Amino acid sequence: EVNSVSTLLEVVRHAPLATMLPEAIASEDRALRRLRVEGEAPQRGAALLRRRNNYHSAAALAFVDLVLEMHRA
């Protein structure tokens, strides 16, 4: 989840990743390839992205700790 569609599109353009977007958004960008999802939707993965050397609030750091703790369990 990101706060900006443009940020998500930049990440997808420059990394070997895929995302699911509403068709209206996917149709606007000619650099994206659309694939039809048939049958059951693929399993989702998640990634935490944050800028290195930027300020990270106490809440953001606590969230990262919580996610990492849950992942280890």
Share of the chain above pLDDT 70, in %: 96
7 token code pair = 């940020």
- Mean predicted lDDT score pLDDT of the chain: 83
pLDDT at 50 over 80: yes
User: What is the rounded distance in angstroms from the CA atom of residue 64 to the CA atom of residue 67?
Assistant: 5
Cβ count near 9 (within 10 Å) = 19
End-to-end CA distance of the chain: 23
Query: Six-digit token pair at 31?
Result: 């650099």
Closest CA to 30 of 13, 7, 50: 13
